[in-house]
Chains A and B, each alone.
Chain A
């Protein structure tokens, strides 16, 4: 599903004055501020390693890049169409285990092809789950998706010999082994750090830099693509489904096609991100299929602001940095890391009480007068005609 972002419109017969009103003009200027912010973020992330001499932090941000993809891929299905998936880890884990199994049993398969196959198998799982789940809503859909992830965990025990059961699979070929990912990661590392600096690093640090840049590139491509979709025409249709399914049908929306497409796209993106995660960690284990991961993805998305792609992306950096870096400095969490997810749940409750739409949409709205992408799309569409916002 490809799409273009919705451009400002010049209605043929504008209701108001033909030139944008002061407020509308301001709106457009602020929209540009948003666009600039969205461009600055990836540039900032690109040069971030140059100014941070802390590979532990860098490793956490690389993980956050991956979680951005987990959350954004969840959002295009659940945030946009309202089909809340409680088992996103099923897709993530499926992609990751596919890549790990290929690495273990077919080491001749290139890293990139393995990623593509992981994406494909996750997409197929998306079809397999999406089709029977099309008629399910709310808690029933949540239970169904939750149980698929649970079933996959059991499957790893049944095929323990292949999957390693509780131990998982170690020795997965890493990003540095990739014919494309390796040079991309190395090239960007040298571009940002300087060739001499990069070559002078110990091997493990080099590996962290490569992981960071590969995850960043894939994240920017995926989030950019999903935002183009979400903020474009097709995103508007997905959003209409979330608003009211029968009204969408009355408007001529082929519900099954759109819902299934969202399911498969979400699954494929999650599988791709999961596969890359496996190549960055070099291992896969049950945590990639666990309910904790599914819940964390939902917490991230809701925290950042579901249904906006950029919200869950920002949420992922906030939550993963807290979880993987800052909370580790606190004694309590050092001793009891299992308390982290509970802390996030509490934090989420507080955020949702104060700001039910998550943290990012209200900030964007403050900047530009629009909160959700479709509100943004619709408002942008008309403001050029001078209609009242």
Chain B
């Protein structure tokens, strides 16, 4: 299979701090990859570099072989990379449906865009809240709204930044089902997540980072057992619990 997105020796420095250090990996079309690491490991910086929200100091990010680095953020979105935010960023004063209409409008979508927006909300199970102001949604629904807004850009690759953060166990269950459905629909996923147990049920590959570098990459169970991950993540204990 050909790589959908490739990180090639991506390095991001902030002054004297190297947040991401020569990270290389590729994700194939249709894959679901988990990106894990302790706080400060460089996940979010890498995530921002992949989505055009930050520019690497050196290295390259390519989507289907084409570099994304010189593209403006909206062009990265247009080329097929969509993201959500760790701390949800809805358009709070707009109704749920209008949140999803915005990407459809700017993409110049033809036809009945309201029906299309409605269909996207159905995909994430939020169509019954279409007319609610998004400020009235629960945290779990807001995460789904962000996913819907990202899906409305018709992405080849969807990057989810800590989708389970701040959610209750039952909300995580509902959201997991939504994410699983996206996978089945063929969306390629990269998921940054701290809740390893929930993450492992969704992905078929895990990339682990520590101090800006990739320390393990491969089958989820094997990565979790790797001594480097165990040491980095829990200072020796076995990772895998919900925390």
**A interface residue numbers (CB < 8 A to B):** 9-16, 233-234, 236-237, 239-240, 243-244, 246-256, 372, 374-375, 377-379, 381-383, 385, 387-389
Contacts and interface: CB of A to CB of B under 8 A. Distances in A.
A246 B83 CA distance: 11
Nearest to B153: A252
Given A10-B115, A250-B73, A251-B102, A383 B92 contact: no
Contact of B105 (A233, A255, A378, A388): A233
Contacts, number: 148
B172 interface: no
Contacts of B114: 9, 11, 381-382
B135 to A, nearest CB: 10
B131 A237 contact: no
A251 B78 CA distance: 9
Interface string B17-33: 00000000000000000
Contact of B93 (A255, A374, A388): A374
B95 interface: yes
A12 B77 CA distance: 26
Given A240-B99, A248-B102, A251-B150, 12 more contacts: A9-B115, A236-B98, A240-B102, A247-B89, A247-B91, A374-B93, A375-B133, A382-B118, A385-B118, A387-B127, A388-B128, A389-B131
Interface string B214-229: 0000000000000000
Given A243-B93, A249-B74, A378 B98 contact: yes
Given A13-B122, A372-B93, A374-B94, A249 B73 contact: yes
Interface in B120-170: 122, 127-133, 149-150, 152-153
A8 B102 CA distance: 16
Contacts of A236: 94, 98, 101-102, 105
B102 A250 contact: no
A378 to B, nearest CB: 3
B64 to A, nearest CB: 18
Contacts of A383: 131
Contact of A378 (B84, B90, B97): B97
B19 to A, nearest CB: 19
A59 B60 CA distance: 65
B187 to A, nearest CB: 16
A253 B74 contact: yes
Contacts of A243: 90-94
Task: Tell me whether chain A's interface is mostly helix, strand or loop, or mixed.
Answer: helix
Contacts of A256: 72
A256 B106 CA distance: 13
Nearest to A253: B106
B98 A374 contact: yes
Interface residues of B, number: 47
Nearest to A244: B89
A253 B77 CA distance: 9
Contacts of A378: 94-98, 101, 131
Contacts of B77: 249-252
Given A240-B102, A375-B94, A379-B95, A250 B131 contact: no
A261 B39 CA distance: 40
Contact of B89 (A13, A250, A377): A250
A267 B43 CA distance: 43
B97 A15 contact: no
A246 B118 contact: no
A375 B152 contact: no
A260 to B, nearest CB: 13
7 contacts: A15-B118, A236-B101, A243-B93, A254-B72, A378-B96, A382-B95, A385-B118
A130 to B, nearest CB: 17
Contact of B53 (A10, A11, A237, A246): A246
B196 interface: no
